Amino acid sequence: MAWIRTATAWAGLGLALTLATGTPAQAQVQQSADFRQRPPEDEVIYFVLPDRFRNGDSANDRGGLAGDRLATGYDPTDRGFYHGGDLKGLIEGLDYIQGLGVTALWIAPIFANKPVQGPPGHESAAYHGYWITDFTRVDPHFGTNDDFRALVEAAHARGIKVYIDIVINHTADVIRYRECPGFTCAYRSRADHADPAYTAYVSAGEADIKVPAWLNDPARYHNRGNSDWYGESALDGDFAGLDDVATEDPVVIQGFIDVYGAWIDDYGIDGYRIDTAKHVNPEFWQAFVPAMMERARARGIPNFHIFGEVYSFDPAQLARHTHVDRLPTVLDFAVQRAIQDMIAGTEGPDRLEAVLAADAVYAGGPATALRLPTFNGNHDMGRIGRLILNARPDIGDEELLARTTLAHALLLTGRGPPVIYYGDEQGFTGDGDDKASRQDMFETRVPDYADDRRIGSADEAFDTEATLYGRIAALARIRAGDERLRRGDSLIRRADQDPGLLAISRLIPGQPGETLVVFNTGSVPITANLVVESGSRDWRGVHGSCPTQASRPGVVTVTVPPLDYMICVAEGAR
């Protein structure tokens, strides 16, 4: 097919990268020596669910519990239960992760969880880590606190930062309501029901299950029933039955500052991703964030990265949480949706142009936007391969590979630290969102995972010769070797309204040079003249058939094959 890059071209790319960035060993030594000084925008992040990555110690598969799967949570044949991955497995996989070009590891919550919950006949396990009972201890299914310390130390020795996924909005589902004995209790508003809206209680067997102890007091929760996801209930409702913490309570505020401050003090971690951040009142974040940043500075961590999950595709809604909540950054769902629509061919490149034009609305403006983690897909919405297939169900393997490659190129050359969702580099697609997108990296026993459609070649687990592993690693090295791709402004040179060309110049104000990235999301080759800086006369190609010289001052002519991209560099004075 015309859009598939030849093996020779990819081999040439590898040579160009070696010349540009030095040997992997040299890069590792430099990276390890100064990793604390890297600003957040310099990172390439790998997001992983420990349970689904690698089983380093089969002795902890059942979390030290006895009985059937409803007691232990372990059933490697069911995608809704624990499969055996753990922190020792992550340590064993660090070379593989680093080989992908990753510089920061984002780990789904590692804290002790309620192993199984849910109504009878519909139970599932906390393999994902979001049903926390003990905020001070690693879940026994994943290992021990010492295992986590060993992971952080091993990652830091490689220059890889460690971000922990944290939850504050809710805990595991422990509280019950006397007026509503079931698992789905309707939200009761303050207008219609004074406190207490429900009579909350905890069964005797779970009265002291939460740590710290103040979390066992039902008075520390809102107890108003399930959220309707809008209005008052968006802040004070139970998240699908999970106990909604009263985060306006001074005891809760100080309690979580102490809990999460201790993880910084004790382990020297490098950042927090905040789950369900938009469901917590702004006043909590206004107290919590400065406290965490101060703890990090005191620990000698100058670039502690905090990014909240605000599930919205509207830049204005995302930005509001940087102004009102004063969150330093949020996950960039707006960029995700724009890339998805462009790559699926449902919208033109002007979709991304509109998103980037809104960078000024964030608190701190474009400088803050440079630090918003970007991503193609995740454990909730599904993988980029599946999102493409949803829009183009009859797509062939070669075109699926081309579109997926283009999605990663957009991610890794764009503004904001890119997040690679574990398994994407092995070509995972999944069958949908949530559990359907949380496949095992090791040999799976789940039928729905075993028959997964794969993108590109991948002959075995953790295959470093897999097609997408190599392409993502190459893009990560390009990013690492070009400061403009990590820290530069994004100046749109062309953005078609239909599938076609997107051209972006990455520039650092006051510095000479320009990196031009051009993408063709259409199905035919496109030749075009593009405006560039007047001083950008001589060009070298990093990827694709770049021009060697400007056509005339301030203009270059490019030809981009369908579903392909080019990265071109000019070092001349501007």
Please report which helix (H) or strand (E) contains residue 494, including its range.
strand 489-495
**Whole-angstrom distance, CA of residue 309 vs CA of residue 366:** 19
Name the amino acid, one letter, at 57: D
- The one-digit pLDDT tens for each residue of the chain (574 residues) are 333 333 333 433 443 443 333 444 444 434 555 899 999 999 999 999 999 999 999 999 999 999 999 999 999 999 999 999 999 999 999 999 999 999 999 999 999 999 999 999 999 999 999 999 999 999 999 999 999 999 999 999 999 999 999 999 999 999 999 999 878 899 999 999 999 999 999 999 999 999 999 999 999 999 999 999 999 999 999 999 999 999 999 999 999 999 999 999 999 999 999 999 999 999 999 999 999 999 999 999 999 999 999 999 999 999 999 999 999 999 999 999 999 999 999 999 999 999 999 999 999 999 999 999 999 999 999 999 999 999 999 999 999 999 999 999 999 999 999 999 999 999 999 999 999 999 999 999 999 999 999 999 998 899 999 999 999 999 999 999 999 999 999 999 999 999 999 999 999 999 999 999 999 999 999 999 999 999 999 999 999 999 999 999 999 999 999 999 999 999 975 4
List beta partners, residue 333: none
Token digits of residue 77: 């044949």
Cα distance between residue 367 and residue 195, in whole Å: 43
Instruction: Identify the active-site residue in 165, 173, 238, 275.
Output: 275
Q: State the number of CA atoms in the 13 A half-sphere of 77 facing the CB.
A: 1
Active site (annotated) includes residue 309: yes
Residue 45: how many other CB atoms lie within 10 Å: 24
Q: Which residues have a Cβ under 8 Å from the Cβ of 29 and sit 6 or more positions away?
A: none
Which residue bears the tokens 């579109």?
403
Task: Give pTM, 2 decimals.
Answer: 0.94
User: Do residues 173 and 243 touch, judged by C-beta distance below 8 A?
Assistant: yes
Going by C-alpha positions, the residue among 15, 45, 61 that lies closest to residue 420 is 45
φ/ψ of residue 69, rounded to 5:
-65, -25
Distance CA 308, CA 166 (A): 10
All structural domains of the chain: 38-169+247-480 (3.20.20.80), 488-570 (2.60.40.1180)
- Tokens 């102890």: give the residue: 213
Whether the Cβ atoms of residue 423 and residue 438 lie closer than 8 Å to each other: no
* Cα 429–chain centre separation: 16
In the set 86, 147, 244, 309, the catalytic residue is 309
Looking at the DSSP bridge assignments, the partners of residue 441 are: none
The DSSP symbol for 414 reads: S
- Side-chain-facing half-sphere of 359: CA atoms under 13 Å: 20
